[in-house]
Structure 1
């Protein structure tokens, strides 16, 4: 007969890379106290990773040993299970668009959910809550441009927008212009120049 720990490990192994589990999702495998004990035991033995308090993931086995699941896979799973909108942070967006040559030293994502920190092995990942307008078009170049402008702020918006014009094609500029609804007045005003571009 399988122990609760073995059942949890088998359940976790059936999930795709980056899938996270919590005790509440495992109550079909045993009573809450038994599930909590089994999770602790699996973490102590290195068979599960504690990503944050109450949230766990299975390490990925490779021919070179075990590694943490990819940050992108974990973030994708969090979006699917919580319904949050998650996007690259403003600093990452600026880097992606070539506005900055600095690679952010830590992984930061912007989210519609609550702010929290995740630990994936040696890597720390931060989910930082921002207003919904900063999460519009989360995977598009126009959306990244909006986040980059928000990151640099009001004082540098004109200069950043001038640099962005050459990096966005006409369709992307129109998409960025269309995102102005719901943004702060200073940003909507700056984006209005795209209508005449």
Structure 2
């Protein structure tokens, strides 16, 4: 029986639809870059970014993109992040209606715009990041990005005054303290203090 090559072992390790970092293969071979190049050339892997690869998954509708959380977790090498689109601000009921074709990754490591495979992301680095989305975090992040939104800022603030009772006071203050920019703090904190009585 023919002995398995390092390339054979790397192929057996692959699972369709999964994302890999270069470091996932370093213990399998002493020629990791050469073998990764060979796997890309034969279509067993697709290069998404430097050091980031996808084992393609075929579907009746074409090639499937990987799970977004897995993709970003592998890229950042960290699971403390949240990803959202600014259109999600519309769910807060503050009068926003714009639709945005944009994905924002609030994280601890990367900043700037980057393309991973066929997806474009806007990475926003902060000293810490939540592990899940909440409407309180979305509100704070909306105020972080308020100047970038094509909305009537005065209307947003006016609507918020009538909606504060729908937010958890402790969670909102916590999100503002941990994730709010100076600008968001300046806009939101006086509003919260003035309307403390409306919180449940």
Scaled by the length of structure 2, the TM-score of the pair is 0.72
Q: Which residue of 2 aligns with 1:59?
A: 56
Query: Structure 1 residues 94 and 61 mapped into 2: Cα distance closer, same or farther (>3 Å)?
Result: same
Structure 1 partner of 2:197: 196
Match of 2:66 among 57, 65, 69: 69
Alignment of 1:175-194 (within 5 A): 175-182=171-178, 183=180, 184=182, 185-187=185-187, 188-194=189-195
CA separation in 2, counterparts of 1:194 and 1:87?
30
Contact 1:71 1:125 in 2 (8 A): no
SS across alignment from 2:104? strand
* Rg larger for: 2
Q: CA deviation at 1:49?
A: 1.6
| Count of matched residue positions in the alignment of Structure 1 and Structure 2 | 187
Structure 1 residues 41-66: Cα deviation after superposition (integer angstroms, max 9, x where no partner): 22222221211111112122324443
Which residue in the other structure is 1:112 paired with? Answer: 108
Unaligned runs of 5+ in 1: none
Partner of 2:125: 130
In the TM superposition, what whole-angstrom CA distance separates every residue of 1:79-132 from its partner, at most 9, and x where no partner exists?
6x424323325x244244355333322333222211262322xx2232412334
User: Which of residues 37, 41, 45 is equivalent to 2:38?
Assistant: 41
Structure 1 residue matching 2:176: 3-state secondary structure: coil
Query: Over aligned residues, Cα RMSD in angstroms?
Result: 3.3
Pair 1:193–1:125, CA change in 2 (3 A): farther
Distance 1:112 1:9, change over 3 A: same
CA distance in 1, matches of 2:101, 2:192: 30
CA contact (8 A) 2:82 2:131 kept: no
Query: What's the CA shift for 1:165?
Result: 5.3
CA displacement at 1:143 relative to structure 2:
0.9
- Are 1:149 and 2:148 counterparts? no
Kept in 2, the 8 Å contact 1:5–1:35? The answer is no
Indicate conservation of the 8 Å contact 2:39/2:45, yes or no: yes
State whether residues 84 and 113 of structure 1, in contact with CA within 8 Å, keep that contact through their aligned partners in structure 2.
no
Q: CA deviation at 1:29?
A: 0.8
Is contact 2:87–2:100 with CA below 8 Å preserved after alignment? yes
